[in-house]
Structure 1
Amino acid sequence: MKYNRLGKTDMHVSELALGCMSLGKDITHARDIVQHAVKSGINFLDTADLYDFGLNEEMIGSIIKENRKDIILSTKVGNHFDTKSKDWYWDPSPAYIEEAVKDSLRRLQTDYIDLYMLHGGTIEDPIDEVIAAFEKLKKEGIIRAYGISSIRPNVIRQFVEKSTIDAVMMQYSLLDRRAEEEMLELLIANQISVLARGTIAKGLLSNQAAELIKKKASNGYLDYQFDELIEIHEKIISNPELAQPLLALSQQYALKHKAITSLVLGISSTKQLLEALEHYNNANLTDEAYQFLQAITKANKYLDHR
């Protein structure tokens, strides 16, 4: 496993991160996945207070409490939720951030959070106040670093210009290359790590892609029509130069860009985890293969979500 520096911090995170959102509610099942991940060299776990309305944080806290010091732990804030009614609304106010971080610390059974991220964001948010709240938590030692989970370029730019963020989590894959033109070079220039999620594009870039394209993408995906997705898949699997499983190619495509610090994998089973690890350890994407994959896909651009 390779480890990369997180932003400008002294923390180094594994190139594969365990995205905990899909672990489910059975702690025995979740513990098995987390323990396999850690034994395999994954030191970066990502959760959020909203996942299962706090239960995900509670499970992660219980599972890692014995080796907390060996884990880089990320969680998120901004969705004001009610654990009883299961309702939530967007609330990036400093008052809520300061309240929510205490609840996250309690659920995670820790006295600090390595990376605290705003879980979304719009250009209408009180961004200066949000930044001030994160800076206060950082100064107090409650968080070691902060960032934003967002696909909105205009919002990300505000944080780049005004804050000391160390990471941006964003959707990025072979089928979603929107960040390449508009965001990645900016983040590199400011020593801000990119944590890529959605690398397999809802399964359309997994080893089960042929089946899932027909099952899930009859109306297309982003700016791809159904027929285009079928054509891309056929071009990939018929190219002898790419003689690797599609999951391996999709992971390596994202990691090929120097902006990407870690892939946040949405894992729901130990089998999925082991498959991702096997492909990570065995994959080798040449420059020629990388260029071929770029040639048969689109350099998408951000239209909505500004």
Structure 2
Amino acid sequence: MEKRQLGNSDLWVSKMGLGCMSLGTDSSHAKKIIQAAFDQGINYFDTADLYDYGVNEEIVGKTLSPIRDQVIIATKVGNRWNDQKDGWHWDPSKAYIKDAVKNSLKRLQTDYIDLYQLHGGTIDDPSEETIEAFEELQEEGLIRCYGISSIRPNVIKLFAKESSIVSNMMQYSLLDRRPEELFPFMQDQKISVVTRGSVAKGLLSDKVLEKLQSDELPGYLQYTPVEIKELIESIQAKLLTDRTMNEVALQYTLAHETVAAVVTGASSIEQVQDNSRAVKAKPLHKEEIEYLKWITKDTRYENHR
């Protein structure tokens, strides 16, 4: 599978990453999915300390430990579980980040994290000490690079100006084109985008075609249920003669130079294989991209500017 450079770092990630949140806590089942991803040429695995109270990191770390030098492990920090483990709160403080990384390293069974990401954030956070924490962790060799996971324009611009982030994870799909407004800025700043939500909760997956004749399709963001159905039917008529819906969805996000990888979740080996086939398919033609832009909404972020 093709690999793309993450920002200006020395990390080269497969253009499809495995989002590990949906792996579950059955380690045997999760291991098979992770192995299937690696067999498809995926070297980029994305987890977070929040997922399953850290169990997700443990499973990912144990499974990847025999091939640690062949993979890119990304995890996240900032959402802090309370003592009862029945809720969490946001903590971007330097003290917490530098403490949390030790726990993540232990669970991941590794001496370093390839990509450490701030798992959210607002413009009112103490960003100076947050950035200081990541910079120190990088100097100490505990992380190779760091990034953020944010859709807020003001937060993205602040970190682009004040920090050394190499990536930003954003929800991005044909049904949520808001990030496109920021792509030229991030490309200029040499910050790569890694995407999540590229199939828009399944509305852009192959399975949606089975529901077109029913009333099961929901709305999504600025789209009504009727608009969703009309949009899917338009794509089906125009582009699905020799493509799958998965291909259209994933290839559209990969068509933008700023995007280094699409991070897709999977709860089965089949899902990994289907998504991998879609990512390895031929890129969309310029005419196809223009058509998709024409039939979808070119929206912008209204808040956090």
Tell whether the 8 Å contact from 1:6 to 1:193 is kept in structure 2 after alignment.
yes
Matched, 1:116 2:116: yes
- Are the equivalent residues in 1 in contact too, given 2:53–2:85 (CA < 8 A)? no
Partner residue in 2 for 1:4 = 4
Structure 2 unaligned segments of length 5 or more: list them: none
1:253 counterpart SS class: helix
Determine the C-alpha separation between the residues in 2 that align with 1:175 and 1:99: 38
Aligned AA (2:195)? A
Contact 2:255 2:283 in 1 (8 A): no
Which segment drifts farther, 232-241 or 25-34? 232-241
Distance 1:286 1:83 in 2: 52
Deviation for aligned residue 1:227: 1.0
Structure 2 equivalent of residue 22 of structure 1: 22
Shift of the alpha carbon at 1:9?
Answer: 1.0
> How large is the Cα RMSD of the aligned pairs?
1.6
- List aligned pairs for 1:67-216, cutoff 5 A: 67-82=67-82, 84-181=84-181, 183-211=182-210
* Structure 1 residues 18-77: Cα deviation after superposition (integer angstroms, max 9, x where no partner): 000000110111100111111111000000000011000011111011111111110000
Return the alpha-carbon distance in structure 1 between the equivalents of residues 161 and 168 of structure 2.
13
TM superposition shift of 1:283: 3.4
| 1:242 and 1:289 in contact (8 A); partners too | no
* Percent identity for Structure 1 against Structure 2: 48
The aligned residue for residue 274 of structure 2 is: 275
Structure 1 counterpart of 2:258, which letter? A
- Which secondary structure state, in structure 1, belongs to the residue aligned with residue 201 of structure 2? helix
Q: Give the match's secondary structure for 1:168.
A: strand
| C-alpha displacement of 1:282 | 2.7
Task: Mark the CA change 1:22 to 1:216 in structure 2 (over 3 Å): closer, same or farther.
Answer: farther
Q: Distance in 2 between matches of 1:119 and 1:187?
A: 18
Deviation digits for residues 83-111 of structure 1 (CA, Å, limit 9, x no counterpart): 75332111111110011000000000011
Question: 1:289 matched to which residue of 2?
Answer: 288
The residue that corresponds to 1:303 in the other structure is: 302
Distance 1:178 1:212 in 2: 26
How many residues are matched? 304
What's the TM-score once normalised by structure 2's chain length?
0.96
Offset from partner CA, 1:224-246 (integer Å, 9 cap, x none): 11111111111111115763111
| Alpha-carbon separation, structure 2, partners of 1:153 and 1:169 | 13
Give 1:300 shift: 1.1
CA contact (8 A) 1:5 1:12 kept: yes
The answer to whether the 8 Å contact 1:54/1:83 transfers is no
Structure 1 gaps, min length 5: none
Q: Distance in 1 between matches of 2:180 and 2:18?
A: 23
Matched residue SS, 1:117: strand
Cross-structure match for 1:222: 221
TM-score scaled by length of structure 1: 0.96
1:64 maps onto 2:64 in alignment: yes
Deviation at 1:280, TM superposition (A): 2.0
Residues 242-271 of structure 1, C-alpha deviations (whole Å, 9 max, x = no match): 631111000000000111000001111101
2-side partners of 1:107 and 1:216: how far apart? 41
